[in-house]
């Protein structure tokens, strides 16, 4: 099976990494729209246009299904995109929301981009949900500044100290797991892992990873090497 994924940048690679751990024998085609990141503060109309361009590109690569590996697109445009395209589309947020609904967690924290938090997509009945927009995190992660900005990150997350679990509502945020779990002792929920656990794929014999980005620089290449531990082909679209 040829599986397409897209995101504004490296966040979607965290989702791809989760997929590769469980389903390594597929052909994966990834597109990261690094020239237009971050997506978190863009208007819905622009997000829909950017998502459509990404999906059209992946369709041109003859993928069989597409995963929207972006919390912002999933929370704002998923239903409109489903109406536009007949190809199977999967969003990154629904599996996480379904998991939380069935869970025993009652005090839940959520961090995400401005658009994701404004959508209220994580508001679940009978749960105490504390949500916070953390727009500075994406550029920190993309620019490899996590250690440099450690204190700033920890300060942003102090309000979640009494939560049972913190939902990483942006696919970039798994890059912050170590800071959150080691120093803040918070349990975290990775949307990529929830998505993978919700899928049932038959492993093929062929394996392929093609990574396309609208802009490639040194920071991006370092991040790719840290996230994707399988052989891959890198291209600038």
CATH number at residue 125: 3.40.50.1860
Which one from 18, 70, 77, 194 is the annotated catalytic residue?
Answer: 70
Residues 183 and 99 in one domain: yes
pLDDT tens-digit map of 46-69: 999 999 999 999 999 999 999 999
Count of domains observed in the chain: 2
Residues 52 and 101 in one domain: no
Q: Which pTM does this prediction carry?
A: 0.95
Residues 32 and 44 in one domain: yes
Residue 2 pLDDT: 94
Which one from 18, 77, 163, 170 is the annotated catalytic residue?
Answer: 170
Report percent pLDDT > 90 for the chain.
91
Residues 100 and 169 in one domain: yes
Residues 118 and 171 in one domain: yes
Dihedral sign computed on CA atoms, order 195, 201, 207, 210? negative
Query: Where on the phi/psi map is residue 105: left (φ > 0), alpha (ψ -120 to 50), or beta?
Result: beta
Residues 215 and 138 in one domain: no
Residues 81 and 119 in one domain: no
pLDDT tens-digit map of 78-136: 999 999 999 999 999 999 999 999 999 999 999 999 999 999 999 998 889 999 999 99
Distance of CA 91 to the CA centre of its chain: 10
Residues 116 and 49 in one domain: no
170 is catalytic: yes
21 token code pair: 């751990």
**Mean of all residue pLDDT scores within the chain:** 95
């Amino acid at each position: 099976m040829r599986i397409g994924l897209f995101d504004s940048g490296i966040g979607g690679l965290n989702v791809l990494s989760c997929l590769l751990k469980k389903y390594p024998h597929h052909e994966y085609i990834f597109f990261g729209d690094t020239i237009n990141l971050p997506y978190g503060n863009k208007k819905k109309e622009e997000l829909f246009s950017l998502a459509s361009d990404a999906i059209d590109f992946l369709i041109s690569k003859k993928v069989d299904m597409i995963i929207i590996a972006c919390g912002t697109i999933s929370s704002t445009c998923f239903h409109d995109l489903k109406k536009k395209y007949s190809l199977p589309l999967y969003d990154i947020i629904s599996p996480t929301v379904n998991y939380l609904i069935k869970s025993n967690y009652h005090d839940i924290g959520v961090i995400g981009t401005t658009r994701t938090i404004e959508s209220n997509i994580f508001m679940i009945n009978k749960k105490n949900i504390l949500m916070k927009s953390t727009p500075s995190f994406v550029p920190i992660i993309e620019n490899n500044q996590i250690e440099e900005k450690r204190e700033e990150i920890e300060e942003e997350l102090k309000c979640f100290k009494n939560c049972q679990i913190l939902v990483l509502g942006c696919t970039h945020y798994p890059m912050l797991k170590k800071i959150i779990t080691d120093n803040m002792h918070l349990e975290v929920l990775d949307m990529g892992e929830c998505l993978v656990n919700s899928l049932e794929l038959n492993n093929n014999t062929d394996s392929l990873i093609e990574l396309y980005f609208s802009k490639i620089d040194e920071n991006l290449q370092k991040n790719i090497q840290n996230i994707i531990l399988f052989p891959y082909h890198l291209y600038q679209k």
